Amino acid sequence: MARTPKSFIREILKVTEDPGIISFAGGLPNPALIDVEGIRKAAAHVLCEDGKTALQYSTTEGYLPLRKFIAERYRKRLGLAVSPDEILITNGSQQCLDLIGKVFIDRGDHVAIERPGYLGAIQAFSLYEPIFHPIELLPDGPDPAMLDDVCSQYPVKLFYGIPNSQNPSGITYSERRRQEVASTLVGTRTLFVEDDAYGELQFSGNAPASLKGMLPDQTILTGSFSKILAPGMRLGWVCAPPAIMEQVIIAKQASDLHSNYLSQRIAARYLADEDLDAHIRKIRFVYKKQRDIMLLLMEETFPASVTWTEPVGGMFVWATLPKGCSAMDVFTHALREHVAVLPGTPFYVDGGGDQQIRLNFSNSSEERIITGVERLGRVIRALVP
């Protein structure tokens, strides 16, 4: 526990509970896009038609119709041949990371992770005391030479990555980088943990190829309903080959027996009754517009020495400040202007991030994005040497 980093996001969320704060710090979906009425109808249907069963204990693997829905969506969206038996419903995708850590990581094991890496994964895996090997993210994915070098030198158990709209950077792997990751790992004993929490939130074009299709026996795929349905329902899933799934199920049983069964039943009913694709199209349209507004205002108000990513999906922009301008200083001064951002330091396992900030564009209205970015621009201009 002493070696496990505290969640900086949790601390910031405490600060941003003040409704007067314009928060770009968290990773929350836009509450206006949660289909409360559709979920209410689904909940009423489940409780009226089969309430006693829905409120009872259930199986560890999860509600079979929900797992069938996920498997079929993988087939239609990504061309993956996945059985419902290869899917385990979890309490959000964060529990996926904890279960994977429990099953695979012993103290001193070698784990590769993107640099910058997802804070939730760093925290979850840190409990099991691995040796982290950060793999630098290029503008289109992991540095292939660095990944090859690490995998050649060390017996890497896992490489954890977010190929689509990575958190925190917003970077999406190119097809070339996906192929390079697959070619580096094929034939090794290294598993790729493919976190696809943002895969449904690509703003245009077809869904990029999944590493699961390239490395079917070496990939553990994780997903979540938090970004496309409702985060408060706490529903995610692990998709893994049978031999791995057997161990993950045992770890899940030891943890909590099964995920919230009522939420699973409500989600399955909602997905049967509503048009999920239409709902996702609406989310994509709104998020793309919010991203565009944020990027336009950053261009107009930030100093020319500040650079940033231009994500093709997801929820985040990753900005790099010039030398001499500290992310923590920006955080502190911005809060005085009632704007919250997330400094980059928690996303690095080897130090770094003091010149980076993560900005979330999904959870604010267009008006608050405009006001917040203008205030943030003034703060950064005052701090740039």
Write out pLDDT tens, residues 355-375: 999 999 999 999 999 999 999
Q: For the whole model, what pTM was predicted?
A: 0.95
Work out the percent of the chain whose per-residue pLDDT is above 90.
93
Fold of domain 8-35+278-383: Aspartate Aminotransferase, domain 1 (3.90.1150)
pLDDT computed for residue 11 by the predictor:
66
Cα gap 49→265, rounded to integer Å: 11
pLDDT computed for residue 237 by the predictor:
98
* pLDDT value at 385 more than 90: no
Torsion of Cα atoms, 331 then 336 then 337 then 341, to 10°: 20
* pLDDT value at 44 more than 70: yes
pLDDT band for 12, please (50, 70, 90 cuts): low
pLDDT band for 173, please (50, 70, 90 cuts): very high
**Residue 326 tokens, joined:** 């500290």
pLDDT computed for residue 229 by the predictor:
98
Task: Report which of 29, 25, 22, 17 is spatially closest to residue 363, judged by C-alpha positions.
Answer: 29
What does the pLDDT average to over 286-310?
98
* pLDDT value at 176 more than 70: yes
Paired with 158 in beta bridges are: 111, 191
pLDDT band for 205, please (50, 70, 90 cuts): confident
The CATH code for residues 36-273 is 3.40.640.10
- 175, HSE (Cβ side, Cα atoms, 13 Å): 4
Write out pLDDT tens, residues 72-126: 999 999 999 999 999 999 999 999 999 999 999 999 999 999 999 999 999 999 9
Angle ∠(333,334,337) on CA atoms, nearest 5: 100
Domain boundaries, the chain: 8-35+278-383, 36-273
pLDDT computed for residue 16 by the predictor:
63
What does the pLDDT average to over 172-181?
98
Q: Report the mean per-residue pLDDT for the chain.
A: 96
| SS3 assignment for the chain | CCCCCCCHHHHHHHHCCCCCCEECCCCCCCHHHCCHHHHHHHHHHHHHHHHHHHCCCCCCCCCHHHHHHHHHHHHHHHCCCCCHHHEEEECHHHHHHHHHHHHHCCCCCEEEEEECCCHHHHHHHHCCCCEEEEEEEECCEECHHHHHHHHHHCCEEEEEECCCCCCCCCCCCCHHHHHHHHHHHCCCCCEEEEECCCHHHECCCCCCCCHHHHCCCCEEEEEECCCCCCHHHCCEEEECCHHHHHHHHHHHHHHHCCCCHHHHHHHHHHHHHCCHHHHHHHHHHHHHHHHHHHHHHHHHHCCCCCEECCCCECCEEEEECCCCCCHHHHHHHHHHCCEECEECHHHCCCCCCCCEEEEECCCCCHHHHHHHHHHHHHHHHHHCC
Least confident of 22-26, 203-207, 304-308, 309-313: 203-207
pLDDT computed for residue 18 by the predictor:
80
Write out pLDDT tens, residues 217-229: 999 999 999 999 9
Write out pLDDT tens, residues 14-39: 766 788 899 999 889 999 999 999 99
* pLDDT value at 4 more than 80: no
Locus of tokens 């970004």: 227
Cα gap 298→54, rounded to integer Å: 48
pLDDT computed for residue 82 by the predictor:
96
Helices 327-336 + 366-383 axis angle, to 10: 120
* pLDDT value at 271 more than 70: yes
